[in-house]
A and B are shown apart, each in its own frame.
Chain A
């Protein structure tokens, strides 16, 4: 099992943070372009899911899966979006995303008055904590596939 990479978007769609652990294939564009593309797709899927749903959705879009990887999505009520790509065997990723939000993002970004909430995260403390947090998750296997 493995965790490929993570994207965090602010409530306006700006990329707050990106980090990759085991990414074998690059997209061949700049990271800004890639983030925009990613956000655009999430935005479209979200509205698609909500419009096409035959019943009232509570959480809406949760994840999608291809033959090779799964993209897990979590949005807080304050519209901060967490996106995590893993392989198809990873379990309980919503729980992990919720924990990243409450135990890493809130603790080291929101409660850090020096980090602005609409600019890319610079805090080294946040980066180390997130890295450690993801690496201790049972779904994380450091060696590349």
Chain B
């Protein structure tokens, strides 16, 4: 199939609108749950639910096939970051076994204009991204774990999201005759 990237039409949205909407969502969740760990968990779940749908949009727009290996996966996710967040992360820090790597973001559109108050230092503000990665990759039969290693909100110089490959999920067999 010959689908070039020029055919991808994405409607542009001001990133500040996204940042502020996301900020409002997190603020509301903190008010509702008043426990940073619960909020982090819910953000991950929210991301998961987004991921299982966003992957279809990604696949249909790029026409990309199945991933051959994890390196290929990393490249495609990198492309997805560009499409959906407008930033190009670096893929780095591969583990020796080749089953773990990091996305390093110099700037994170979700955290611009954000400062974490002292009593919320353990909040994983960008946990939604981890959820999206997990949900999207699960739909293409890759079971992964994802977490934040470095966070600009906690004084690190860039944001680092770690991804670990757990296993490949198998095709489900058809339901038997009743």
> Could you list which residues of chain A lie within 8 angstroms of chain B, going by C-beta atoms?
11-13, 36, 39-40, 43, 58-59, 76-80, 94, 98, 101-102, 105-106, 110-111, 117
Contact = CB atoms under 8 A, between A and B. Distances in A.
B175 A80 contact: no
A59 B60 contact: no
A78 B55 contact: yes
Interface string B161-178: 000000000011111010
Given A13-B172, A13-B174, A39-B174, A117 B140 contact: no
Contacts of A110: 53, 56-57
Looking at chain B, what size class is its interface with the partner chain? 20 to 34
Interface stretch (B61-69, B107-115, B147-155): B61-69
A101 B62 CA distance: 12
B91 to A, nearest CB: 20
A9 B52 CA distance: 16
Contact of A36 (B65, B66, B175): B175
Interface of B: 1, 52-53, 55-57, 59-61, 63-67, 139-141, 171-175, 177
Given A11-B172, A77-B140, A117-B52, A58 B57 contact: no
Contact of B56 (A13, A59, A80, A98): A80
Contacts of B57: 106, 110-111
Contacts of B171: 43, 79
A76 B1 CA distance: 13
A13 B175 contact: yes
Contacts of B60: 76, 98, 101-102, 105-106
Contacts of B173: 43
A77 B66 contact: yes
Contacts of A117: 52-53
A79 B66 CA distance: 10
A58 B65 contact: yes
B172 A12 contact: yes
Nearest to A39: B174
A105 B55 CA distance: 13
Contacts of B174: 13, 36, 39-40, 43
A80 B53 CA distance: 12
Nearest to B52: A117
Given A11-B172, A40-B174, A110-B53, A78 B139 contact: yes
Contacts of A111: 53, 57
A33 B65 CA distance: 31
A42 B1 CA distance: 22
Given A13-B175, A59-B65, A102-B60, A79 B141 contact: yes
